[in-house]
Structure 1
Amino acid sequence: MSGRSHYDLVVIGAGSGGYAAARTARDLGASVGIVDRGPLGGLCILRGCMPSKALLASSDRVQAIRTAVALGITTGEPRVDMPYIAARKRALVGEFAADRIDGIERFPLHRGQAHFLSERELAVGDEILEADSFVIATGSNVAPHPLPGLVETGFLDSDALLDLERIPESAIVLGGGYVGCELGQFLSRMGAHTQIVIRGEHLLSGADTDIGETLTEAFRNEGIAVHVRSRMQSVRKERGRKILRLERDGIGLDVDAEEIFYCLGRVPNIAGLELERAGVTAHSVTGIETDASMRTTNPRIFAVGDVTGEFLLVHIAIYQGEIAARNALSGGDERADYRLQRSHTIFTEPQIAVAGASEKELQRAGRPYVSGSYAFAEHGKAMCLGKTDGFVKMLADPAGGRILGAACIGPEASELIHEIIVAMHFNATAEQFAKIPHLHPTLAEIWTYPAEECAEKVGASVVGAPG
């Protein structure tokens, strides 16, 4: 090997978490080197958040045109120009990536696969990088696909789906997590007869039951077939069709389609890092072990983002990256607080957003709570918009009324949730929240109803919500 460099901090992976760590360390005066094997930009920009939302913007418009008759507007069936939609997506991704690359290239950048030689040395091609500390931010990959016959029959994963230039006549989506739900609805709205296959009782098995059941019903009402309680047995191909063998309630069932899309999650990207040489403990499924300071089992090495296997959320990767950089340079013990950071949103229609704790989490922890809810079907502004699927709910501490969490499934949930996040940031109670003026008629005023219900349950006297 030839070439040796030394840095205060070396960051492995230049996605959202790694870039945040590098930028934070540089701002603190450290010498920072970045390692990335490319392409530069990170999962969110290249194969995640941004390309998927660009595609969903088109499918949402298609659905709006189809349903405009409910508002007295008659149109023909919209014509989908998938090559144009794909080109628009690529242009947006290119713009986002160019901005990120400009920031990355302000650092010493070492291109190639990294692997540890020791606790203080990293090899990248013919270079050796020495550092006082390291941050591993190598992200995640599409999970393996062990289903018999799947590889031989052929399939597309979530990454490939984002590059489609032709919508298949029909599609089977394996998996009902947020990726499978968002992209399954996209396929359906763009013209594919779509079936989603899941093992659980409803879509989004990790979500509260009322949210998962509401989304499942909405999908079925839109014409998407959702096969629940289904165990995937095998895949084969006959007469040009791809056939998935299922077992549901002990009965075998075949479903077929032109294409199969594999959306069964992601796994941490740790292959080839040779972490054992650096004293870092990791697992192929759960990722690199870290504590709340983002330290691994080697206190000089930190890990952030998807590679830790816990939260696959960009804003958390950024948050962790900043904490890791500060701790690496100071030797400190700043610890991540996920009370609000774990808030998230899903861009189906109806949209879903969650702030703080869910009911499932509170129940598992044995923590008492009171709840209040209100349906969009009873809310004036939602009725005017013709978007009445879903509800909002709030969870509060029965002792003092402090808001513990909230969830929204319905129109503009991804925007509406931020009001709750702000209230929780300032440790507001349900009573205090219910007294905040809300304009009428707006979607946001729907939050006053569950807040008032929670406040009443903890014995507070609250001014009534607007009518």
Structure 2
Amino acid sequence: MKQLECDVAIIGAGTAGMSAYRAALQHTPSVLLIEGAHYGTTCARVGCMPSKLLIAAAEAAHAIGAADAFGVRAQLNGIDGRAVMRRVREERDRFVGFVTASVDDWPAAHKLWGMARFIAPGRLQVGDHTQVAAKRIVIATGSHPVVPTGWREALGERLIVNDDVFDWQDLPASVAVIGTGVIGLELAQALHRLGVRVRLLGRSRKVGPLTDPALQPLAAALVAAELPLSLEARDIQLEREGADEGAGVRLRCTCPQGGPIDERYDYVLAAMGRGPNVASLDLAQAGLPLGPGGVPKADRRTGQIGDSGVFIAGDVLDERQLLHEAADEGRIAGDNAGRHPDVRVRPRRAPLSVVFSDPQIMLAGASHAELIEAGTRFETGEVSFEDQGRSRVMLKNRGALRVYGERETGRFLGAEMIGPSAEHLGHLLAWCAQRRDTVQQMLDSPFYHPVVEEGLRTALRQLQRKLRMGPVPVERCLDCGPGA
């Protein structure tokens, strides 16, 4: 058994682990990066990038179908599923290559291959070949798709997760997507627009991550207007039809609206979220305080678990499973692991989440649910995009935006939205939340005409009136209508 010692051991070489490695190196050259699956990020391999490649193809097909509304006569002559998936795989591999190339350049003495588990506080067993004594440890083991017990055994290769989609050689004829969160929504809509017969099922009433009770039913209605959507699905039964390789899946369930469902699909896509990779770490041997799901409790501002020399970062935290959050957490955890015991509090960026559905969804700053839970006194301004000038010009006039401001100070707190250009508006609003801008300061900023951002101005004006922070001139473009 090989014995190694280091100042900092990092378990996991994804986004958080790689950021932690770079940060820890600023304080000590004695850093060991341990990985037992693959170098690289969830984003590049099975997340952000391949899903956006599939969505981009779906948007191209959808644009052709929508062209007639503009008086542009276009015809979709077909979708080459093999060509679609070939581009997805090739570009995915290109993105992964950029990530793995950087790891390849790191010193061999800084890398150790194998699955790690704790055998005592500060001691790790890696594979069956090495034991590591580390003064400090960063846990950055990432997450995995959640699959209900028994589904894999019942369905075999006909049960897939998002990781499997991006290795397809061709598009299937039909897929049932179970789970109406970000992953399920994005993939279901993209596959539907690429000609795959899809049903999206959820066990609750929610579609996507929106928490504002005024926006949740709107999101469900907009999705249901485009593709088959079944919410509050009960008694979901999945049965493999036959043992031969081409056998599909029979799906049966009951929904309050629409009645019983009895349909057949080539595949069932389980998209019910991702869980933290902690089962194999044997954390009971680490002497760490554990929270729900066996995830160690940590200070988000430092990454430190209790007062120990162990830190945690990335998707394994099971909080905001987003690349930029994982990168920040890795940098904070790695920096503090490297400088320990001189642990320092690091400021966190304003929250920002985007869903690349159509319409897009975004949450910036504090969400409605977070404000309610915190007992914050706030007011809400809103705008519908149905009659918003630029949105109507582009035939993107669907959805709504709601913005939140603090009563006593007039400070902008956050926003939720489903509508056009949400990915861009989300950035603007997250920046405002991070700067702690007031609603008046936001209104004093320039707004061009005609742009979607004018809808934001409409919502901010309504919010300012409710906050009673002073007179706000009500301007309106007579040519464009409300929310211009």
- What TM-score do the two structures reach when normalised by structure 1? 0.93
- Alpha-carbon distance between aligned partners in 2 of 1:85 and 1:7, rounded to the nearest angstrom: 46
2:326 is matched with 317
Structure 1 residues 27-73: Cα deviation after superposition (integer angstroms, max 9, x where no partner): 34443211111321121111111111111111111111111111111
Following superposition, the deviation at residue 337 of structure 1 comes to: 5.3
Question: 2:17 aligned with 1:9, yes or no?
Answer: no
Following superposition, the deviation at residue 282 of structure 1 comes to: 4.3
2:138 is matched with 135
Q: In the alignment, which of 234, 248, 255 is matched to residue 248 of structure 1?
A: 255
Q: Secondary structure at the match of 1:276?
A: helix
2:225 is matched with 221
2:54 is matched with 55
One-letter amino acid of the structure 2 residue matched with residue 74 of structure 1:
R
- Alpha-carbon distance between aligned partners in 2 of 1:226 and 1:332, rounded to the nearest angstrom: 52
Given that 1:12 and 1:136 are in contact with CA atoms closer than 8 Å, whether structure 2 keeps it comes out as yes
Question: 2:308 aligned with 1:299, yes or no?
Answer: yes
Structure 1 residues 224-269: Cα deviation after superposition (integer angstroms, max 9, x where no partner): 1111121243212447552222133497543332321111111111
Q: In the alignment, which of 402, 415, 418 is matched to residue 406 of structure 1?
A: 415
Question: 2:208 aligned with 1:204, yes or no?
Answer: yes
Structure 1 residues 121-170: Cα deviation after superposition (integer angstroms, max 9, x where no partner): 22223222222111010101111322668734631111112222332222
How does 1:235-274 map onto structure 2 within 5 Å? Answer: 235-238=238-241, 240-249=247-256, 253-274=261-282
- Alpha-carbon distance between aligned partners in 1 of 2:232 and 2:411, rounded to the nearest angstrom: 37
Q: In the alignment, which of 355, 380, 384 is matched to residue 393 of structure 2?
A: 384
Q: Percent identity?
A: 27
How does 1:274-353 map onto structure 2 within 5 Å? Answer: 274-282=282-290, 285=293, 287-292=295-300, 293-297=302-306, 299-330=308-339, 331-335=341-345, 340-353=349-362
One-letter amino acid of the structure 2 residue matched with residue 164 of structure 1:
W
Q: Secondary structure at the match of 1:377?
A: coil
1:120 is matched with 122
- Alpha-carbon distance between aligned partners in 1 of 2:285 and 2:362, rounded to the nearest angstrom: 41
- Alpha-carbon distance between aligned partners in 2 of 1:284 and 1:117, rounded to the nearest angstrom: 22
Given that 1:373 and 1:449 are in contact with CA atoms closer than 8 Å, whether structure 2 keeps it comes out as yes
- Alpha-carbon distance between aligned partners in 1 of 2:26 and 2:152, rounded to the nearest angstrom: 51
Question: 2:462 aligned with 1:462, yes or no?
Answer: no
Given that 2:447 and 2:453 are in contact with CA atoms closer than 8 Å, whether structure 1 keeps it comes out as yes
- What TM-score do the two structures reach when normalised by structure 2? 0.90
1:97 is matched with 96
Task: Report the more deviating stretch, 61-70 or 437-446.
Answer: 437-446
2:32 is matched with 33
Residue 451 to residue 189, structure 1, CA distance change in 2 (3 Å): same
Given that 1:286 and 1:309 are in contact with CA atoms closer than 8 Å, whether structure 2 keeps it comes out as no
- Alpha-carbon distance between aligned partners in 2 of 1:276 and 1:253, rounded to the nearest angstrom: 44
Q: Secondary structure at the match of 1:209?
A: coil
Residue 241 to residue 336, structure 1, CA distance change in 2 (3 Å): same
Residue 249 to residue 441, structure 1, CA distance change in 2 (3 Å): closer
Task: Report the more deviating stretch, 277-286 or 324-333.
Answer: 277-286
How does 1:43-82 map onto structure 2 within 5 Å? Answer: 43-82=42-81
1:361 is matched with 370
1:370 is matched with 379
How does 1:136-215 map onto structure 2 within 5 Å? Answer: 136-146=139-149, 151-152=154-155, 154-204=158-208, 207-215=211-219
- Alpha-carbon distance between aligned partners in 2 of 1:49 and 1:59, rounded to the nearest angstrom: 15
Q: Secondary structure at the match of 1:67?
A: helix
Given that 2:10 and 2:21 are in contact with CA atoms closer than 8 Å, whether structure 1 keeps it comes out as yes
Given that 1:150 and 1:236 are in contact with CA atoms closer than 8 Å, whether structure 2 keeps it comes out as no
Task: State the Cα RMSD in Å.
Answer: 2.3
Residue 430 to residue 203, structure 1, CA distance change in 2 (3 Å): same
One-letter amino acid of the structure 2 residue matched with residue 47 of structure 1:
V
Residue 101 to residue 420, structure 1, CA distance change in 2 (3 Å): same
Following superposition, the deviation at residue 438 of structure 1 comes to: 1.0
Following superposition, the deviation at residue 297 of structure 1 comes to: 4.6
Q: Secondary structure at the match of 1:400?
A: coil
Given that 1:435 and 1:463 are in contact with CA atoms closer than 8 Å, whether structure 2 keeps it comes out as no
Residue 117 to residue 428, structure 1, CA distance change in 2 (3 Å): same
2:480 is matched with none
Given that 2:25 and 2:338 are in contact with CA atoms closer than 8 Å, whether structure 1 keeps it comes out as no
One-letter amino acid of the structure 2 residue matched with residue 132 of structure 1:
K
Residue 465 to residue 51, structure 1, CA distance change in 2 (3 Å): farther
Gaps of 5+ in 2: 478-484
